[in-house]
Structure 1
């Protein structure tokens, strides 16, 4: 059993308990009826004595029933502030360190109130238990909402990754289509240029044929006119 951790609740110095002491310890019901043990018994019910082993030795430490003073209140406040700083507790939101230290401080206040009035201490204890239960519900809701938010964030991240992949694929496809369009345009320009050149050559050949035929026709016409003129002279 490990040594108990530090707490803001005031405890008496630990006491080494041997086997004889353990046998002679009175049951709780008997201790409650012993003179001057009423408050201590109530406190022990609220804050059970802390027990731990060191080697083969049993140590017991029970909550203090000593009356408190104004200096104790001031010291408690200073100790709470120091522990908050040491634990690096957050000032806002749900902080486990701040919550634990706040409940320890509340327990110490319950101890102090119980010493003066056991009934008020019992009422505060009931309020503390209700607060702890309510806080537990809110903490569970907060953890659930954080888990839900984490799942949504992961889903959004996965969705974002999918969208980025889709965009990347579309961009690559767009580049391929642009390249195909560029290749087709170049091929079309080459074909059009070749066809234009072929058309030009055919036009030149056609023009040459027309020129040859025109020249031949002109020669035939002149020759025919010469023959007609010669026949006309012979007749006259």
Structure 2
């Protein structure tokens, strides 16, 4: 492949890049196929820089060039250092809306596609501001990095809470199974106790019935004995009176 003023585009991005060029083999820092998007390529620096080169250096530091391989050539593409106009901002907004719709990003909730597109849009805005005012661009970069750190902290906290919730759910499932076994044991014990209570109630009823029958038999026997002794007493009294009657005469 020959050196071209405008190289092939490796992947679409909302961030505006300049023309791609081939890295000479003697200055390439990585072998073909080993480069990744976003990796920074260290190139020979000029001894004396003007304002344009300083802006380009700042852009390269905050928005590293992207590299890729095609065949045996290693391509590099830096972000554009061209100043942005009002039309560029309008086009950026239109491209953002088109990409959101084309890639079917979710409007609400967590969506990696929407997050990626808005990150590219933020990088492009930082690029546009940096070209006009490097200090303002560096401040925006600081704000962007802080927001990313905050989001990463929230993501870590979310993942930790999800893991904690899963552990608690597993513990609850294990505890639920143990409680179900314990409930079955207690229900079996309760049934056994109910059976024993019913058995003892039957025994109590039988014993009460026997005791009532025995008491009635004892009372009847006692009444018969009283009646027998009463009759015997009357007979003896009559005999005694009959025996004593002649003696009185």
8 Å Cα contact 1:31-1:41 kept in structure 2: no
8 Å Cα contact 1:12-1:61 kept in structure 2: yes
2:235 corresponds to which of 219, 222, 228: 219
Of stretches 29-38 and 170-179 in structure 1, the one that deviates more from structure 2 is 29-38
Q: How many residues align?
A: 226
**Residues 37-116 of structure 1 aligned to structure 2 (within 5 Å):** 39-54=55-70, 56-81=72-97, 86-88=104-106, 90-91=108-109, 99-116=115-132
Query: Unpaired segments of 5 or more residues in structure 2?
Result: 1-8, 29-41
Of stretches 195-204 and 25-34 in structure 1, the one that deviates more from structure 2 is 25-34
8 Å Cα contact 1:28-1:41 kept in structure 2: no
C-alpha distance after superposition, 1:99-120 (max 9, x if no partner): 5444332211111112223332
**Residues 82-231 of structure 1 aligned to structure 2 (within 5 Å):** 86-88=104-106, 90-91=108-109, 99-144=115-160, 147-148=163-164, 151=167, 173-229=189-245, 231=246
Task: State the shift of 1:54 in Å.
Answer: 4.6
Q: Distance in 2 between matches of 1:162 and 1:32?
A: 77
Q: Distance in 2 between matches of 1:78 and 1:172?
A: 72
Q: Distance in 2 between matches of 1:142 and 1:57?
A: 43
| TM-score for the superposition, normalised by structure 2 | 0.65
1:9 corresponds to which of 9, 12, 15: 15
Q: Distance in 2 between matches of 1:204 and 1:146?
A: 84
Q: Which has the higher helix share?
A: 1
* Partner SS, residue 52 of structure 1: strand
* Partner SS, residue 29 of structure 1: coil
Q: Distance in 2 between matches of 1:67 and 1:37?
A: 14
After superposition, the CA RMSD in angstroms is 4.1
